[in-house]
């Protein structure tokens, strides 16, 4: 299949947020952290660890066009440290299934080779647009903004109390709580930093 003429349809960030929040509430509820594996299992989407996936296609996950399988890098999936990143990647793939269902079905990606062919032949900017949309979905899905802000304020308040009298109470303490927030949402620090800016 010729992927060189592929164009990513525009979806506004607000619309992506609405779809992510609706999906989270439908599949999981309002609490965090969100268990993306349980959701994929509930949706009858297989999680298939693949040896060398990151080496072969330079990504740690992809979803099949029939929506039945999410392929993840085996080493990252079974590594406690990298697992938070894989969780984000699985939510990213769920985002593709919700945002790009018709597109992916038209691409007919059924194997690792098909995905690699798509990746190698689609224009870089069009592929990037597709991935940014799925990343935004994953961020809104795994890190509900209302809970994030509530948890941030609580942690800042606790930290300021600990720093009382040290002269640092008025500093911007956000950087000092990123890891704690990442643990609360079971994601890497990167998505938390981005979520706090959106």
pLDDT computed for residue 127 by the predictor: 87
Q: For residues 101 and 187, state if they share a domain.
A: no
Q: For residues 57 and 104, state if they share a domain.
A: yes
Tell me if 93 is assigned to some domain: yes
CB 72 within 8 A of CB 90: yes
Of the pLDDT bands very low, low, confident and very high (cuts 50, 70, 90), residue 66 is confident
Q: Containing domain of residue 168, as a range?
A: 144-198
pLDDT computed for residue 151 by the predictor: 95
Q: For residues 134 and 177, state if they share a domain.
A: no
Q: For residues 114 and 30, state if they share a domain.
A: yes
Q: For residues 54 and 81, state if they share a domain.
A: yes
Phi, psi of 30 (to 5 degrees): -100, -10
Number of domains in the chain: 2
Phi, psi of 94 (to 5 degrees): -60, -40
Q: For residues 88 and 152, state if they share a domain.
A: no
Tell me if 64 is assigned to some domain: yes
Tell me if 91 is assigned to some domain: yes
Q: For residues 133 and 154, state if they share a domain.
A: no
What CATH number did the domain enclosing 93 receive?
A: 1.10.10.2910
Residue 65: name the closest of 12, 118, 13, 24 by CA: 118
Tell me if 3 is assigned to some domain: no
Q: For residues 105 and 186, state if they share a domain.
A: no
d(CA 92, CA 134): 5
120-178 pLDDT, tens digit per residue, is: 888 889 989 999 999 999 999 999 999 999 999 999 889 888 878 776 655 577 888 99
Cis peptide before 51 (omega within 30 of 0): no
Tell me if 1 is assigned to some domain: no
19-62 pLDDT, tens digit per residue, is: 999 999 999 999 999 999 999 999 999 999 999 988 877 788 98
The token duo for 11 is 């979806």
Q: For residues 172 and 130, state if they share a domain.
A: no
Q: For residues 191 and 117, state if they share a domain.
A: no
The token duo for 13 is 């960030």
Helices (H), the chain: 13-27, 36-42, 53-57, 74-77, 83-99, 101-107, 112-121, 124-142, 145-163, 174-185, 189-197
Q: What is the DSSP string of 63-92?
A: E-TTSSEEEEEHHHHT-TTTHHHHHHHHHH
Of the pLDDT bands very low, low, confident and very high (cuts 50, 70, 90), residue 65 is confident
Q: For residues 25 and 102, state if they share a domain.
A: yes
């Amino acid at each position: 299949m010729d992927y060189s003429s592929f164009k990513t349809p525009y979806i506004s960030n607000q619309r992506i947020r609405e779809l992510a929040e609706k999906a989270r509430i439908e599949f999981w509820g309002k609490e965090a952290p969100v268990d993306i594996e349980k959701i994929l299992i509930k949706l009858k989407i297989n999680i298939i660890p693949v040896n060398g996936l990151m080496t072969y296609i330079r990504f740690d996950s992809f979803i099949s066009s029939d929506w039945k399988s999410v392929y993840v890098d085996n080493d990252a999936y079974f590594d406690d440290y990298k697992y938070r990143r894989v969780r984000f990647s699985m939510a990213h793939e769920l985002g593709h299934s919700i945002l790009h269902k018709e597109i992916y079905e038209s691409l007919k990606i059924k194997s690792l080779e098909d995905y690699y062919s798509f990746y190698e032949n689609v224009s870089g900017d069009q592929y990037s647009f597709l991935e940014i949309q799925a990343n935004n979905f994953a961020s809104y899905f795994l890190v509900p903004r209302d809970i994030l802000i509530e948890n941030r304020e609580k942690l800042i308040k606790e930290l300021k109390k600990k720093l009382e009298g040290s002269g640092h109470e008025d500093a911007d303490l956000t950087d000092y709580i990123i890891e704690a927030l990442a643990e609360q949402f079971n994601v890497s620090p990167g998505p938390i930093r981005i979520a706090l800016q959106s």
